[in-house]
Every structure is written in structure tokens, then in C-alpha cells.
Chains A and B, each alone.
Chain A
């Protein structure tokens, strides 16, 4: 009996395995940060941008998974020879989720709202270069800039530049209405947010998912448990690098480790002693051992940087030879600067990458003869005391914006770096419309801020995604803050 039953059982099993698995149309996604409002034009929270940009809302342009600019609500555009006039041709037949037909009026409304005197748009700099926005006809808009702006099309793809309709602008924070491939369905604040497919979207045929549910799970251990218990299909921004090995060993899951635009830096307050002295900053640069730091703080899951530019970017130059790890050289430079043995305050941001890195940096600077006192502060405190009041010696933070080398050109920024040479260079970069020439200038800029040791450059913040086997299509890296679900499939 046993002998005869076994082949039959095996055959049945083989059949079951061979049968094509039915495609699923719902997905449950874990998100660490809980949003308080769902409108990226009124709040900067990363999770808001991640969930709604490209899903609920659309922008004139769109950034794809490689970081390239693609058509969004504008199906094509022409740029004048002087690089100042952009003529956008809008998609026709597009409607907002409430049925309102999308026209050039909505572009004008959205831009004028963001540019208004009393606008609270968290990224008004997108609109700073704009001189005028004009409607040519129902489906054509012309935007004139005061000066050429190399990053303009990329910036237009960001959450704060979404196109909205005046009817729902007051309620988008709780019931967002856009033109995207998904529509808002329900939100239980603090627990879950549900989108459903927009059957009227122009690309609806290519969208595999009917329903998307986001679950908000802040605690890393709880996030791991939810995945292991089968509550979630995906956790695209998994918060705990220390738990990744466990999922890699588990055949039920796939792990993707990609990168974000976030440079993790050891910022030094260039405006006050001791880091107004370049020798002190050079000493810190020599004291940093990135390999050890990445191993200890990120479990090996990050790429080192040697300037303020992502290693996956087109203009990246490797400057790691500039200040190689050399504790003796660091000690000598601290001595030259006359601060050897002094105590420095390090106020990292209260996120795991920050607090963990802080302890290792403390030990590494200790090996070069410095005392570092770590002060763990809370996020609101960091924003006010470190970022606004510049009240710090050292801090560790990730700068997650794309194309953010321009931060070095800012007036009275919290780094305290003040260089007219850099400001000139940045002006040349942003107005250079030829790609190759701009890349060369971007490389000069990386060299400048690296040679002057303005900051300690640590590593590029990784993007860790954990997916149930059969879930495909999530971005492995995040060239801009978005999580386009139209490309995701579940088996």
C-alpha cells in the first residue's frame, strides 16, 4: 500500500507545483513612519511622499527607478534654446478621482498655490526659479524660468509639486484626490491606509494590484514579527539591518539591499572652534574608519562615501585616498590644531543609524586622542538646537535629498561652511544645461568639499527591502522619494 501510494502522492505534488500559481491582486505593505496627513504639499514627512506620490497623485514629470526623468501628466515637453522656457503638452482625457477632468488650469492652480506668499509648501525651492506659468491652451502650459535650472524637470517630479484640484485641496490631508493609478479608499490613523486601483487611469491595464494596504509598524522587532507571521507581503524600507541575515536565510523571503539618496555625514560646525580650523576637520577625516563603522553600525549593509555625492550617481568620483584612515596622522593634526585631548559634543539624530554610528565614531576619535561626549537628543530638539540654532560641535545625520550638493552654497546653513568659491561653482552647476559639462562641474564640487574636509563623509544610507517570495517590481534603490505600486506584482 505504502509503495503504491507514494508515486501517486508524488505525482499529485508535482502537478500542484507545476500548476501556475494564481496571481494575487492585493498586497499588504509595512511602513515604519506613520504619516499624520496625506498631502505632500503641506508636510515633509518622507512616508507621505513615499505612499502617495506616483500612486495617488501625479506630477508633470516622473522619475523612474533608474533616476531618469520620464513623462508624467505631461506627455512631452520642449525646452527653449536658452534653457529658460519649458512648454509642457499635457495628457488628454485624464480625470481626477472625483471625476473632475484634468486641464492646464489645474497646473496653474497647483503652481500658484505653491508659490503664493502664504504658501506652506515644504519645498518651495522647486518653484523659486519660476518667473511665470502660462496656459497656452487647455492642454498646454508654458513655464518660464528666471535662469536656466538643470534640475528643474527632476524637481517637478517630487511630492511637493503634485498637481491637485481646487475642489479637494482642503481635504487632501485626510482624503487625498489625485489623478494617479490608485485611489484613496480608507485610513485608520495609526494603523492602516488602503488604496484601490483607479480603473480610469490611462495605464490601468498594466496595473496588477487591485488593492494596497499599508500597515504602520514603527518598532523593528514588531516589523520582523509581522513579516514572519505572514501579516505583510512587503516591507520596502525595513528599519533593522541587524535582522536582515535572518530573512536572507529564510526561503520564504527575498531581501533587496539597494541605496537611497541619503548621505550619512558626521557634520562639524565649521563656524566655531575647534572646527573653524581646517586641521581639526582633517584630523577627524583621518580618524574615521568607514569599513569598521559600516560593519558595526549597519551590519555591513552600506556603501562608503568620501564626499557628499551618492556612489551610484553619474558624476561620482572616488576620493577615498584624500583622507585615508590614519589615527596617528589624526592625532598629529589634533595636536597641531591645539585641541588634542579636548572634549567634543556629538549630538546624533535619534535614528538607529545615527545613534549606532555615534558610538563607533566616539571610539574612533578616542583612538586619535579626543574625548567625545554623546548627547542623545530627540528629533524636535535636534531640529531646533542643532539644525536651526547651530548649537553643536559634531552631529550625525543623513541628507536624503537628491542633488543636494547645493547645501554647501546655502547662507547660514548649520554646517557653518561659507565659501563664495563654492557658491559660484554651484551657480555654474545648476545653470549648466549640458549634461557632460555639468558632470565635470559636479566632480569639481565633490573635490572641493572633500579637500576642505567640510564634513566627515561616512556612508550612503541603504534601502533594505524584504519581500515575501513572489512579490516583484519594487524599486531596489530610491532615486527619489517614491514607491510606485503600478509596477508591483504578487504571485
Chain B
């Protein structure tokens, strides 16, 4: 396990380093001058020059990169060019919303998908199975932004049960939860469809194995066989997909935050790229990378926990 952790940590750091280099390079190759984006087309050349000086855009790329890395290692992610406040402040004020969305979406996805997938497997080739397969087919086919728009039309515009968007902040937990229901539902709809299918086929595969037949023959209750013997052994592919989906969820919030005008990290990174706000883009992409790599790492640890055979291979 020690060697496993060490190897993963080295991989983690190497990934991060690569990502920061790539983002820095891409943002510098990409046409677009931060000063021009901020001051607009009426600005004089002198004003643009003064702003570039202020933002430190004159130093060579390599110098700027190492200055950024050096500061980032001490926890200083610099000032946002466009917002004129520290990047840390911007990220911290938006992180809770995006994490609530991603975790809320993940929990709802897992609960719904496991119930639907196992239910479908248990009712293989019966009405329940066909129903789940049909629903999940729709879920896979429908893009999340469109599902989001339909949800808004139904629940916010016609029924007026829930707000159409916005986020009042966690100081009013009820209002905050209410405003998260639709975005989480939109995220879950698509993700759960994929996961339910994976769960179903993984469960079906396990159900064909001899020990399940034996358990049945011994007269164990169906439910107990499903949840105690089938599910744990079907978990490896499910956990793999959940890990991948979490990464999709974090990035999928970009779209969902736009449709529901939520002030989260997704909208922030979108704006930061449009504004050529290099320090902000750099910090956000690095943060997204940290989240994804951490989740992958956790998935690997969970593998070892649910399938002890992997311990020796790790």
C-alpha cells in the first residue's frame, strides 16, 4: 500500500505540473490581449500600454510561468486581471456552490442509478426492466442543457414550485436547497441514465454466476441475494463509471451553471477564458485537475477496498 500511495502521489504531481505548463502555453498562444479585452475598442494605445505594464504582461512567458509556480507553491495564486481581487477570494466564494452541485448530483445519481439498475436486473426481461431501459435511453439521448430548460419550463414557469435559477447563498439554507433542486435534477437525469445501464449489465453478469444460483437454490430471500451478494461483486465497473462521471459532473456544471445562472466555478472559468484572465484561468484549470485526479485516486483506493485481489497487484 505504501508503494502504491507513493507511486500515485508522484503521478498526481506530474499531472498537475503538465497541466499548468499546457494551460500557460495555450493561453499565451491563443490570440487575445487581456488589456484590449478589458479596455475595449475605444481605448488609446497609451492606456493599453499602461495596463499591460500594470498587469506585468511584458515579461517573457517563461519568467511569468515560473513566477506563477513559485507563488502558487506558497499558496498565492495572484490577482485576477479583470476582477481586481485575489484569485483565491474569487475561487473560494464560488467553490461551495459548484461542490454542492457536483456532490448533490453525484449522490442523487448513485442512489437513483443503483435502484434503477438493480431493479431492472432483478426484473430482467419484464416490464420494470423495459421501463428502466427506455427511461435511460431517453436520459442518454437528451443533452443536459435541454433537460434543464424543460425542467425550468415545467417547474419554474408553469407550476412555479421552484426558482428558475440563481443562488441566494447558504445563509438561507431552505432557499439555497430549493434553488439547487432543478440543477441537480438536470445533472442527475443524464448521468443516472448511463450509470443505471452499467449497473444493470454488471448485476446481470454477476447474477449468472454459480454462487448466485447456489444462494437461490438454498432459498435465500431474493432481496438479500441482490443487495448482499450481487451488488458488492458488481461494484468494480460501477465505481469506475462513478469516478469518470464525477469528473464529467464537475465540468458539466459549466453548462448547467449557465442555464440556471448560478454563480459557480463553471461560469467563472468560462468568463475567465473570455476575458483572457490568465491568473484566474490557470488557478481554475489547476483546481479542476486536482479534483479530477483526486477522484481518480480515491477510485483506485476504493477498488482495493472492494476487491482485495487488487491489493496484491497494486
Contact = CB atoms under 8 A, between A and B. Distances in A.
A229 B157 contact: yes
B71 to A, nearest CB: 21
Given A222-B164, A225-B156, A229-B163, A119 B50 contact: yes
Q: Which of A120, A125, A388 has the most CB of B within 10 A?
A: A120
A192 B268 CA distance: 14
A122 interface: yes
Interface in A24-73: 34, 36-37, 42-45
B261 A191 contact: yes
B40 A120 contact: no
B47 A219 contact: no
A188 B46 CA distance: 33
Contact of A229 (B31, B33, B54, B160): B160
A120 B30 CA distance: 24
Contacts of A123: 42-43
B163 A217 contact: no
Contacts of A218: 258, 261, 267
A487 interface: no
Interface string B139-181: 0000000000100110011001001111101000000000000
B158 to A, nearest CB: 9
Nearest to B52: A120
Contacts of A388: 33, 36
Contacts of A122: 38-40, 42-43, 47
Contact of A37 (B32, B82, B264, B268): B82
A190 B165 contact: no
A381 B54 contact: no
B4 interface: no
Interface string A359-382: 000000000000000000011110
Given A231-B164, A380-B37, A383-B33, A189 B263 contact: yes
B260 A222 contact: yes
Contact of A226 (B38, B164, B169): B164
Interface residues of B, number: 53
Contact of A401 (B30, B42, B82, B167): B42
B81 to A, nearest CB: 9
Interface stretch (B198-206, B213-221, B271-279, B295-303): B271-279
Interface residues of B: mostly helix, strand, loop or mixed?
Answer: loop
A34 B85 CA distance: 16
Contacts of B66: none
Contacts of B51: 120
A316 interface: no
B160 A384 contact: no
Contacts of B53: 118
B144 to A, nearest CB: 14
Interface string B48-75: 0011011000000000000000000000
Nearest to B159: A229
Interface in A413-466: none
Given A222-B165, A380-B274, A120 B39 contact: yes
B261 A44 contact: no
A3 to B, nearest CB: 35
Contact of B267 (A190, A378, A387): A190
B90 A189 contact: yes
A44 B39 contact: yes
B164 A225 contact: yes
Interface in A115-163: 117-125
Q: Which of A117, A225, A378 has the most CB of B within 10 A?
A: A225
A253 interface: no
A221 interface: yes
A353 B293 CA distance: 41
B42 A125 contact: yes
A384 B274 CA distance: 12
Contact of B44 (A118, A125, A221, A387): A125
20 contacts: A36-B82, A44-B42, A117-B46, A120-B51, A122-B40, A173-B84, A189-B90, A222-B260, A225-B164, A225-B165, A229-B157, A229-B160, A231-B165, A378-B32, A378-B274, A380-B33, A380-B274, A380-B275, A383-B37, A387-B41
Q: Which 4 A-B pairs have the closest CB atoms?
A: A44-B40, A380-B32, A190-B263, A36-B82
Interface of A: 34, 36-37, 42-45, 117-125, 173-174, 188-192, 215-219, 221-222, 225-226, 228-231, 378-381, 383-385, 387-388, 401
Given A117-B50, A225-B157, A230-B160, 10 more contacts: A44-B39, A123-B43, A173-B84, A216-B261, A219-B258, A219-B259, A222-B258, A383-B32, A383-B37, A388-B36
Interface of B: 30-33, 36-44, 46-47, 50-51, 53-54, 80, 82-85, 90, 93-94, 149, 152-153, 156-157, 160, 163-167, 169, 258-264, 267-268, 271, 274-277
